[in-house]
């Protein structure tokens, strides 16, 4: 699963846009950590169903952490790169249109501003001023909903995903390998469920949704994941595989 890192051009109040973008990033980080918690918890709990061997648990957990975080990073890199490519292409097209048909572009900008509630005369005046100052930027923001100075960097997005997933994955990994043998499962299951309640609550709040149901769904999903992998691990262990 890849969290939405794309800036949604739904509202572009000068400050609301930047805040919205920051919240999107924060929410993506919480969801990335959530992925790390669930997948690594499922993995180590499953292996714990089959074996008591601490080094096997550590190896499996660490491999899961690395595989998951790199997969998240690569997926994020690809998706943000594609997004960026299409934004650059749109900007290049806009640049050409501005060069080849400046009058039609001025008309277009005027129309767009008028649609947003300005009177014809004011829209015209605003379009002229915006065009004089920085025509491409004005068209990028009003027409395309993107800020040419703040295109998402694919490497930043990839790193953010990698770190978020890793931070989440460390919890079940450490909870499984640090405590004494009898405490492994209860500590892991307990701390994972608490952590999932926190990430479910935060992501709902950041998305301006009611947290109650999100917490129940998130904790329930994690509990099912651990239950299924534990059952599978136990069956394999009992079968001597």
Considering beta carbons, is residue 127 or 225 the nearer one to Zn ion? 127
**Contact criterion met (CB below 8 Å) for 233 and 44:** no
- Positive or negative, the Cα torsion across 97, 99, 105, 109? positive
Tokens found for residue 75: 């997926």
Please state the closest distance from residue 6 (CB atom) to Zn ion, in A: 21
Considering beta carbons, is residue 135 or 169 the nearer one to Zn ion? 135
CA atoms within 13 A on the CB side of 208: 3
Considering beta carbons, is residue 136 or 232 the nearer one to Zn ion? 136
DSSP class of 181:
G
- State how far Cα 220 lies from the chain centre: 21
Please state the closest distance from residue 17 (CB atom) to Zn ion, in A: 19
Considering beta carbons, is residue 114 or 143 the nearer one to Zn ion? 143
Going from the C-alpha of 32 to that of each of 117, 163, 215, the distances in angstroms are 39, 8, 16
Please state the closest distance from residue 114 (CB atom) to Zn ion, in A: 14
Considering beta carbons, is residue 124 or 139 the nearer one to Zn ion? 139
Please state the closest distance from residue 140 (CB atom) to Zn ion, in A: 9
**Contact criterion met (CB below 8 Å) for 33 and 65:** no
Please state the closest distance from residue 102 (CB atom) to Zn ion, in A: 10
Considering beta carbons, is residue 76 or 105 the nearer one to Zn ion? 105
- State how far Cα 78 lies from the chain centre: 13
Considering beta carbons, is residue 139 or 184 the nearer one to Zn ion? 139
Rg (CA), the chain: 24
Residue 78 burial (C-beta neighbours within 10 Å; 0-12, 13-18, 19+) = middle
Please state the closest distance from residue 139 (CB atom) to Zn ion, in A: 4
Region of 28 (left: φ > 0; alpha: ψ -120 to 50; beta: rest) is alpha
Closest chain position to Zn ion (CB): 139
Please state the closest distance from residue 150 (CB atom) to Zn ion, in A: 19
Interface with Zn ion by CB under 5 A: which residues? 105, 139, 143
């Amino acid at each position: 699963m890849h969290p939405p890192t794309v800036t949604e051009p739904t509202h572009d109040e000068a400050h609301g846009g930047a805040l919205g973008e920051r919240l999107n990033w924060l929410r993506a980080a919480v969801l990335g950590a959530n992925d790390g918690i669930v997948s690594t918890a499922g993995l180590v709990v499953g292996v714990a169903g089959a074996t008591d061997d601490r080094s096997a648990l550590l190896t499996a957990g660490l491999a899961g952490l690395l595989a998951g975080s790199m997969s998240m990073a690569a997926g994020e890199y690809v998706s943000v790169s594609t997004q960026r490519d299409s934004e650059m292409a749109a900007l290049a097209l806009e640049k050409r249109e501005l060069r080849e048909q400046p009058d039609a572009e001025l008309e277009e900008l005027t129309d767009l501003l008028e649609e947003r509630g300005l009177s014809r005369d004011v829209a015209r005046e605003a379009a002229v001023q915006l065009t004089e100052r920085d025509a491409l930027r004005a068209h990028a923001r009003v027409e395309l909903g993107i800020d040419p100075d703040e295109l998402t960097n694919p490497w930043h997005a990839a790193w953010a995903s990698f770190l978020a997933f890793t931070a989440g994955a460390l919890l079940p990994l450490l909870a499984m390998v640090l405590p004494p043998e009898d405490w492994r499962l209860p500590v892991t299951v307990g701390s994972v469920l608490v952590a999932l309640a926190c990430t479910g609550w935060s992501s709902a709040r950041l998305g301006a949704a009611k947290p109650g149901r999100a917490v129940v769904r998130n904790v329930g999903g994690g509990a099912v994941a651990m239950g299924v992998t534990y059952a599978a691990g136990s069956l394999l262990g009992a079968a001597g595989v």
